[in-house]
Structure 1
Amino acid sequence: MTTTPAPTSVPPNEAGARLRALYEREWAWRREQFAGFDDEDGEGAPADHLPRVDAATQSQREHYWRDVLTQLDALPLDQLGERDATDFAVYRAQIETLLSQQQFRCWEMPFNSDSAFWTDLGFTARRARHDADDYERYLGQLHDIPRYFNEHIANMRAGLARGFSVPRVTLTGREQSIAQVLDTACIKDNLFYTPFRTMPANIPADTQAHLRERAATAIRTVVLPAHAKLLDFIRDEYLPQARATLSAEAMPDGAAFYRAQIRRFTTLDMAPEAIHTLGLQEVARLREEMLATITRTGFNGGFESFLHYLRTDPQFYPQTGEQLLRQAAWIASRVDGCIERYIGRLPRRRFAIEPVPAELAPFYTSGRGGPGMYLLNTHDLPSRPLYALTALTLHEASPGHALQMPLAAELDGLPAFRRLTHISAYIEGWALYSEKLGVEMGLYETPYDHFGYLAYQAWRACRLVVDTGLHHLGWSRPQACTYLREHTALSEHEVRTEVDRYIAWPGQALSYYLGEMCIVQARAKAEQALGPRFDLRAFHDAVLASGSVPLPVLEQHIDRFIANGGRSPWADAASH
């Protein structure tokens, strides 16, 4: 008797097991690779060193991620369950992005007009330490700064040699954040001495004294000379040799690079022309809403006159940094009073409202939020309008970044690569949607507040126009500044810093408005499909329960939410 062999297939659940083993192994490797690296979005794995960034290590990472992608593409997707299929879609996009950045050698341009590898060390310096071992690891990191800087310098030289650099026009004064580390007269006032000013009581006094002595020596003999060398390099080599062009497409393989950055930040494969056209349409639509709001204020005059009024009348600006911080705290408190009516599950972790560190403030954006913090820029107070503060606080604090990021980290049912990474289109889309949610919350109390909200929406829509204008259509810096000045209420200081940010960080500015549009469209689809069964809290829970995901995956997630009758995922979890 003969039998027909059964077709070769993967046993049930084996495909999912292979996927989980792959991403758990890679995640552990990734954490080890970047141990000791902290930034505004979170803390790296504890380490007594900083990450290696030399070209050989970067090449090894590229080969590793290419191999991971090959293994992913060998998995039988039709044998993955629903949950594993979602994890696959999120993870593959993440690995593809990591690999793309290595292939374009983005590590040869390790800073932009907003953030830099040397300013990230400020987050390391300010991070809380809990015991003597934490301090020992920090001392090890201080001693590793010269090696870390030298590797970055070698990478930047390689970038300069092939025309891959930050545009020169955005770099004026940028080196001051390095110089300020050197300008501190007393070692104990130095940024890197921060953890030693107040130390935990569980460390004996004699041990504290010994650690402080070693820190002062390390800062004087290691940290300061390393910063002096970096400052000389930036001033004497990088600034004179940085490219005079602005466009990302003007760099080597620039068209492909810019398209890759669009995919990286938006998770969509949209052509620059389509994004530019969409931006023009949205700016025009928002202009009509802004004009209607101007009428509500009772102002007699046109759009340009109203913007001039907002930019110059002292009543719209804080007199002190403390006033700005206190007003933001009051807005955040008002959000706390109503947030449970809009979101079912809230994070356990709260956030502190702090001023942007002085060494960053002149070039930093107006505010930035993340796990445990909401940084508010108190530099140049005449550029920090109070009428926009509600929208800014909703975006950066709650229910924006300082709510979404820690909530994602607390989702124990998701793998670490979904809880602890931040896809720009998702997190910025949610934060911009949070500004829109402020309308329903009743937080824009005056027509001026509402205009501030609309102006912020228009600002993000303008980014679609300006980013693609600069990097694809060949816009000049003055042209970009003029467009932003004419279509938003941003101060002149913010116009300049924002345009420089877009020039030096291609594609990132596109993520906000495209992400918000995805959430708004998904909500409209759910409202129409569910009718009276639609529950806003459940919808927001569904969006937040996904963790940080590409926009196409979020759309699929909301489709399942609709198919499930609009039930909150937390309700489903409680029933099991």
Structure 2
Amino acid sequence: MNKKLGAVATTACVLLSLASVPAGAAPKPTAGATAAAATSADTRFKSIYTKEWKWRVTQRLARAEGERGVSPVLARVDAPAQEARRQYWEGILKELDTIRPAELSPAERVNFAVYRAQIAALLDAQRFREYEQPVNADSAFWTDVTFGARRPFTTADDYRNYLKQLAALPDYFEQETANMRAGLARGFTPPQVTLKGRDVALASIADARAPQDVVFYTPFKAMPASIPAAEQEAMRAQAVKLIREQVQPAYAKVLDFFRNEYVPKARTTLAAESMPGGKAYYQSKIVEFTTTDLTAEQIHAIGLSEMAKIRAEMHEVMKQVDFKGDLPAFLRFLRTDPQFYARTPKELLMHAAWTAKKFDAKADQYFGYLPRRRFAIIPVPDDQAPFYTAGRGGPGAYWVNTYNLPARALYSLPALTLHESAPGHAFQLPIAQEQKGVPPFRRAYISAFGEGWALYSERLGVEMGIYETPYEHFGMLSYQAWRASRLVVDTGIHAKDWTREQAQAYLMENTALAQHEVETEVDRYISWPGQALSYYLGQMAIQEARARAEKALGPKFDIRNFHDTVLQLGSVPLPVLQQRIDAFIADGGKSPYPKDS
């Protein structure tokens, strides 16, 4: 980390190193710890997380290790099931607090830090009854269920189980609607202004003329040849019947409720701190999404400090291209000049693919371990695209939003691609999944780590030579400013009474994002408190860890070994990352993988 950050950022570094690790969870065992004590503590801890994970699988909140295919049931989400989960996780946390982390073996101390933070976040969500708000400006339960229709089905059982899911969907929607009504009654909803137009995904299904035009029919359009033709036709007929008689009426019912009851009565305030238990609720989201104990005030100040540095870098790029105006004029130029925008969706997708292949050419220079899982580049579905982010990535897929092409700048696309595909999400997550010998809860995603890594990947593109023009370099800086701005905007909205217009103006003044993106992003931050804080604080932690390792190891520092060490962790709280890099330094910067791996 740059030493010129000032006192606020220095404080942040200290907190990133110390916060969120339970008392006594330092990586070194006490002097008197014995092998027998470690074995006993390990056994007790493993017993706790093993039984809890099995329970999580039975609740359909997780998939069993090695589980494949389609589940025939949907998870219960009604109030009694949610209260039972609160009580269960409360009991698990009490059991965990009987264990002294210092008595655990080194490997289990890492697992303990990850697991306890995970259980604490799950419990907080139940205590604040977050399930009473299963919708935000970014997504909702009615869009989440559609992703199952877009995954590949390979067996007849997959189709049979999927048909059972379709039959169960109306009851699931009833449960979620009841949750929304309970949240509405106590003022626990997204702000009304962020819900405008979010009924489009409901209407696209409820109002479809033919069941075959609905996304839920997608798996039946091309079925495996291993399923006899007669059985295929019977399944297709059953799907049509279920979509027409069960699924579409369920969507229509929620659509009517959303338009005529939920949105008109949703809260008109913006801040999370204005919600029931608001101040404590927002702090719980800060802890969850940053894995630190930083306050909103501290994060806001860090964001302002980082923005000043990024603006200085932006002015350097403006000098390189000999632009004569000021930053606002340069941003207007970038937002309006046709040279920076694709003319067709295919052109945008091709540019994304080109960047991804440029990374492939450099991958082995920066990473020793490469994931086996490849990824496809896929356009965001039309029913979700208008309010979706510019892109998303994960195992097997990089989704590129081709809606509203004048809002999708080509100069930002390389940074977006590095973030969402490789070496970002579609690279990091498969590596986490491929790790052997780790408990299943270690496969869970921790936003500060995952988003921090993806944002670090954007900066890494400078070293890798991915950005070929000053404009593409500026696109990366704009994305850096976008994430640093989130520290200012998220805390501004939820703790400092910022207005929606104030937040939009801040992003317009400090990034090259198009107006459309600024509007959708600000609504996302308003309705999803704390999540926006993950990115930049996570990147700062990784950059600080790398700078520390480079300084300590000198010529022994190998960038591939450092990256492999970070990614081998999977997804962990930021303090655990810092502790692992301490061990990496102490071990002389060696690769975490055996030589023959």
TM-score range, shorter-chain basis?
Answer: over 0.9
Change (3 A) 1:505 1:142: same
Residue pair 1:36, 1:44 contacting (<8 A) in 2 also: no
Give 1:32 deviation, angstroms.
2.4
The 8 Å contact of residues 36 and 46 in structure 1, kept in 2 or not, is answered as: no
Provide the residue aligned with 2:29 in structure 1: none
Matched with 2:172 is 148
Which residue matches 1:527?
A: 550
Distance apart, 1:115 and its partner CA: 1.1
The match for 1:426 is 449
Q: 1:319 aligns with which of 317, 324, 343?
A: 343
**Contact 1:262-1:270 within 8 A present in 2 as well:** yes
What letter corresponds to residue 177 of structure 2 in structure 1? I
Is the 8 Å Cα contact of residues 426 and 549 (structure 1) preserved in structure 2? yes
The aligned residue for residue 71 of structure 1 is: 95
Q: 1:331 to 1:55 in 2, by over 3 A?
A: same
The structure-2 alpha-carbon separation of the partners of 1:550 and 1:342, relative to structure 1 and needing over 3 Å to count, comes to same
Q: Give, as a single letter, the amino acid of the residue that structure 2 aligns with 1:91.
A: Y
- What displacement does 1:163 show? 0.7
CA contact (8 A) 1:111 1:117 kept: yes
Alpha-carbon distance between aligned partners in 1 of 2:320 and 2:353, rounded to the nearest angstrom: 27
Which amino acid is 1:15 matched to? A
Helix, strand or coil: the match of 1:571?
A: coil
**Alignment-derived partner of residue 59 in structure 1:** 83
Amino acid at match of 1:559: D
Indicate how the Cα distance of structure 1 residues 45 and 36 shifts in structure 2: closer, same or farther if over 3 A, else same.
Answer: farther
Q: Which amino acid aligns with 1:315?
A: Q
Return 5+ residue gaps in structure 2 as ranges.
Answer: 1-32
CA gap 1:113/1:12 in 2 versus in 1, 3 angstroms: closer
- Does the alignment pair 1:556 with 2:571? no
- Higher RCO, 1 or 2 (CA under 8 Å, sep at least 6)? 2
8 A contact 1:110–1:156 mirrored in 2: yes
Matched AA of 1:326: M
Report deviation, 1:31. Answer: 2.2
Residues 1:404 and 2:422 are matched in the alignment: no
Q: Which has the larger displacement, 184-193 or 441-450?
A: 184-193
Match of 1:280 among 304, 312, 317: 304
Cα distance in 1 for residues equivalent to 2:56 and 2:227? 32
1:270 aligns with 2:305: no
Equivalent position to 1:236, from 233, 252, 260: 260
The answer as to 2:44 corresponding to 1:21 is no
What is the SS of the residue equivalent to 1:129?
coil
Any idea what the Cα deviations from partners look like across 1:247-287, whole Å, max 9, x if unmatched?
A: 00000110000000000101011110000001001111100
Identify the match of residue 445 of structure 1 among 448, 455, 468.
Answer: 468
**Where does residue 374 of structure 1 map in the other structure?**
398
Change (3 A) 1:53 1:530: same
Whether contact under 8 Å (2:56, 2:62) holds in the other structure is: no
1:173-184 alignment to 2 at 5 Å? 173-184=197-208
Identical pairs, percent: 56
- 1:35 touches 1:45 (CA, 8 Å); kept in 2? no
SS at match of 1:386: coil
1:189 is aligned to 2:219: no
Q: Equivalents in 2 of 1:12, 1:535: separation in Å?
A: 33
For 1:488, which of 511, 525, 531 is the aligned residue? 511
Matched, 1:160 2:160: no
| Aligned equivalent of 2:520 | 497
Deviation, 1:132, is 0.7
CA apart distance, 1:19: 1.2
What does residue range 275-314 of structure 1 map to in structure 2 within 5 Å? Answer: 275-314=299-338
Provide the rounded CA distance (Å) in 1 between the counterparts of 2:330 and 2:68. 46
Deviations 1:114-151 (A, max 9, x none): 11111011111111111110001100110111111101
Q: In 1, distance between residues paired with 2:183 and 2:596?
A: 50
Q: Is residue 589 of structure 2 the alignment partner of residue 566 of structure 1?
A: yes
Letter of the 2:477 counterpart: L
- 1:203-243 Cα deviation digits (max 9, x unpaired): 11111011101000000000000000000010011001100
TM-superposed CA distance for 1:79, in Å, is: 2.0
Instruction: Tell me, yes or no, if the aligned pair for 1:344 and 1:541 is still in contact at 8 Å.
Output: yes
Alpha-carbon contact 2:38-2:105 (below 8 Å) kept: no
Shift of 1:327: 0.7
Query: Equivalents in 2 of 1:439, 1:134: separation in Å?
Result: 44
Q: Secondary structure at the match of 2:398?
A: strand
Which ranges in structure 1 are unaligned for 5 or more consecutive residues? 1-6
SS at match of 1:368: strand
Aligned length: 564
User: Counterpart of 2:362?
Assistant: 338
> Separation in 1 of the partners of 2:270 and 2:284?
17
| Residue aligned with 2:393, SS | strand
Question: Which residue is equivalent to 1:4?
Answer: none
More moved, 308-317 vs 15-24: 15-24
Question: Which amino acid is 2:350 matched to?
Answer: R
CA change 1:36–1:544 in 2 (3 A) is: closer
Match of 1:117 in 2: 141
Q: TM-score normalized by structure 2? A: 0.92
* Residues 36, 267 of structure 1: alpha-carbon distance in 2 compared, 3 angstrom cutoff: closer
RMSD: 1.8
- 1:250 corresponds to which of 257, 260, 274: 274
